[in-house]
Chain A
């Protein structure tokens, strides 16, 4: 017992001895230094904000960057009673609001941001009154900047200040930080956001920095990752210009073989830079009260009745089911079709047509009968299989799946069997309750162009970190249940659409285009104009889906836009046309060069 008591006492003495030695080290050896830090000076933790990652187009054009900006911050414990009202006045913040803002952090000894992106005038005013503003600091922060302004607003989305809830949930976030709120900025938030660094600085009693304390756990900031998009800035610009005359419209361009999005524009747009600084209330009100909803990405988050662009899908479904062959002739088109007690209309009186002509002339009567023979359930099942009614999986938040008016859906909507059999007729010509986003239609047509191989659309081709590529997107391709002879027929039909049918205004001299027009009814307002097409028609590389709201006929309005974009896609070095091509001025340009061979078009994303 005695031996054990001695041993335990010895252990105790050793442990307390270690503490005593460390105490002597801190209080005697390092005493003067610690005393200096404590008495005359304080040390302060400074945040080194990490710049958000850059975003580039496929050719390296900068579309989102950071720029330096001034931030006013205060150290709450050093702020005197008279300094707060003065600072509030200089910055134009109501005094009460500033008090409220600082209340939860009143005991902080590190700087807290009070206003971001202040003007140089405000900085000058603060600097002039510096001696009356102890604890107030001016810091240079990197903030998001979009040199392309409106051009990419729906692709990139925008960023916004974090709310209290997010700060609580994510320890890496601090008040007044920015996070992605939509688009690429939101989807790739964790990659784009860098990690803030920190260093410890020695400051004097007035809060002036004396110097860094290098040995104290300094941590350098690490910038966010850079994203290289699949978008081609040239096409994006052109698409924006072509849509500019219309109040509400959308375009999606995509490589048919990879799913790489080459342009994605939704009209109206907005300038995402406005979110960086306190927003001018008038600008904000005009954006929010705009009935066309500028924040709404029509290409991805809005479903429209596909109109006649649905017909190739119906044709493929009917061909596979054996409900249709190339030679099938239905009851001739007289301009209207009686089903039950209702009359269903067509755009003209086409007479008796085969499949190719029915597609080329977009005859409703033909497709009513094809739809009837096929049946609602088969049409529903096939539409689902090729990707309608579900999201495409693009790397962007908020994507909408559109709608397929299946038996089940109609039952829930109208009550069991309370809906008419005419639903399948509307479905077959893409009107009524069926809806799809422009992106979905581009994906569906890409699958047709690609002989049944469907792609997942994507926007980010590559992720770089400090100049080194850390990720390259590999296209995702899946095989759809389409039979090659059926596809050949439908593709022939789509070529005829542009050759002599409803889509002749998409035609350009250099490249042969295949596609389909669509005119989606939108009572009581004017129709939506669709065109979805790909080129070159014999070996497709790119597909464009164009939708212009309330603009009338797809063949008149949307087809020429697609034609222009396809021409630009295949002639990379040609200067862009000066003025946006209008629907009525689509004669082939005499000065445009010879057709460019397909293989020197835009190269696919490097592996």
Chain B
């Protein structure tokens, strides 16, 4: 143990304890006790990976990645979930293979990217990392779980950046997909195109900029063409696939209620267990995806900012670990994990605050759920491993 990072341990445990309180308050004793039994298992797993020699871990990258892909395929056929195929139900527990796939993908990418000195905007450099990311992302997308599929894009972007790729090139890499997505409506596509045009003209040559804009325009134009060629019911199906929140019955209701719950907490909250909105039973997943609304109601702005502070501190130390590590694979691992946690924190809280559409993304360390808690702890265990045990 060269440099054991106590802050990582402290903030993680604090977050988990806050989660337990919020689960007790919103979900009741049953879910509290279940989460309480998950916690030692998660801590045990974190300690185990802490002492795992990283050489062995890196050697396992391909088998783990393969296993993750197999599980993602299997869950499409044998899985359950609300209108989708996301979980395996094994007796009393349900397992979400996409949680595991995120970690396996980070590991695989880290192992592959670490041998490169720098990443240029070239097919030779990008083909493999793109392939590694796209396979699990597509499998998650067809579950369908759009918001989790986006995590793969986030972690790829973060890791490419960490390995030295220019932000502009990263933007260009994601540009066709972004342009296609924005092309569904002129109101989103025109601002997108203008910003892209300005960026490209400032940061690269005119020729390159024109090529980039042409490609972008092509993908953007493709989108309405694809949309128009579909029949009405197919379009509706696509809309509900890419925009599951586009459902006037219920979802906006949840969003309104979670905003009222959080807003009514005001500065210091109503006090632990004294929240009223949750008792009305308006939220379907109040101890899982909506757990933050209970924190907002009972602990107020102070509690929420404290929680955001804890997440900042945690992520800051994960990134520090990446910086301090002399092992480039380990360093990339840390960045990938930071991207996963950061994405989930922002999307989960953002949707409860009405900034983002409601989707099924859990709040790391706080939301009820065994597999997510376990893998969050495994990530922290690995980060501590990277920072404290030189190869």
Contacts and interface: CB of A to CB of B under 8 A. Distances in A.
A15 B341 CA distance: 13
A26 interface: yes
Contact of A217 (B256, B280, B305): B256
Classify the interface of chain A: helix, strand, loop or mixed. helix
Interface in B106-143: none
Interface in B260-298: 260-267, 276-277, 280-282, 296-297
B263 A35 contact: yes
A8 B161 contact: yes
B315 A12 contact: yes
A26 B267 contact: no
Given A23-B296, A31-B264, 15 more contacts: A15-B342, A16-B345, A20-B308, A24-B301, A26-B262, A27-B301, A28-B267, A28-B301, A31-B263, A32-B266, A34-B263, A37-B260, A38-B264, A171-B249, A172-B249
A200 interface: yes
15 contacts: A9-B319, A15-B342, A15-B346, A16-B308, A18-B355, A26-B259, A27-B267, A30-B263, A33-B263, A34-B260, A38-B277, A43-B257, A43-B260, A108-B281, A109-B281
Interface string B308-325: 100110011001101100
Nearest to A38: B264
A9 B316 contact: yes
Given A42-B280, A219-B248, A35 B266 contact: yes
B81 interface: no
B267 A216 contact: no
Interface string A100-111: 000000011100
A341 to B, nearest CB: 62
B349 interface: yes
A598 interface: no
Contact of A20 (B252, B305, B316, B322): B305
A28 B249 CA distance: 29
A31 B296 contact: no
Contact of A8 (B158, B263, B345): B158
Question: Which bracket fits the contact residues of B?
Answer: 35 or more
Given A39-B264, A216-B256, A219-B248, A8 B353 contact: no
B28 interface: no
Contacts of A45: 253
Interface of B: 158, 161-162, 247-249, 252-253, 256-257, 259-267, 276-277, 280-282, 296-297, 300-301, 304-305, 308, 311-312, 315-316, 319-320, 322-323, 335, 338, 342, 345-346, 349-350, 353-355
B319 A8 contact: yes
A19 B295 CA distance: 14
A1 interface: yes
A5 B323 contact: yes
Given A38-B277, A77-B281, A27 B315 contact: no
A360 B178 CA distance: 79
A77 B265 contact: no
A27 B296 contact: yes
A33 B249 CA distance: 24
A26 B256 contact: no
A9 B304 CA distance: 20
B248 A217 contact: yes
A26 B308 contact: no
Nearest to B158: A8
A12 B280 CA distance: 35
Contact of A5 (B259, B296, B322): B322
9 nearest interchain CB pairs?
Answer: A34-B263, A38-B264, A107-B281, A26-B263, A31-B266, A27-B301, A35-B264, A34-B264, A22-B353
A145 B247 CA distance: 31
A369 B85 CA distance: 68
Contacts of B342: 12, 15
A37 B265 CA distance: 12
A428 to B, nearest CB: 48
A4 B296 contact: no
A198 B248 contact: yes
A439 B296 CA distance: 68
Contact of A19 (B263, B322, B349): B349
B276 A28 contact: no
A38 B301 contact: no
Contacts of A5: 319-320, 322-323
Contacts, number: 120
A600 interface: no
A109 B256 CA distance: 13
B346 to A, nearest CB: 5
Nearest to B302: A27
Nearest to B258: A26
Contact of A12 (B162, B305, B312): B312
A567 B191 CA distance: 70
A27 B276 contact: no
Contacts of B296: 23, 26-27
A282 interface: no
A19 B353 contact: yes
A13 interface: yes
B252 A217 contact: yes
Contacts of B355: 18-19, 22
A322 B300 CA distance: 95
B261 A38 contact: yes
Interface string A324-364: 00000000000000000000000000000000000000000
B315 to A, nearest CB: 6
A321 B319 CA distance: 92
A19 B346 contact: yes
Interface string A243-255: 0000000000000
A54 B247 CA distance: 28
Contacts of B265: 27
B353 A26 contact: yes
A2 interface: yes
Contacts of B276: 38-39
Contacts of A39: 264, 276
Interface string A173-209: 0000000000000000000000000101000000000
Nearest to B281: A107
A15 to B, nearest CB: 5
A143 B143 CA distance: 41
Contacts of B305: 20, 23
B178 to A, nearest CB: 17
B166 to A, nearest CB: 11
Given A109-B280, A171-B249, A37 B264 contact: yes
Given A2-B323, A35-B264, A27 B304 contact: yes
Contacts of A109: 280-282
Contacts of B345: 16
Contacts of B281: 77, 107-109
Contacts of B323: 1-2, 5
A180 B158 CA distance: 55
Contacts of B257: 43
A363 to B, nearest CB: 56
A27 B266 contact: yes
Contacts of A22: 350, 353-355
A499 B261 CA distance: 85
B304 to A, nearest CB: 5
B338 A23 contact: no
B162 A4 contact: yes
A42 B280 CA distance: 9
Interface string A64-85: 0000000000000100000000
Contacts of A38: 260-261, 263-264, 276-277, 297
Interface string A159-180: 0000000000001100000000
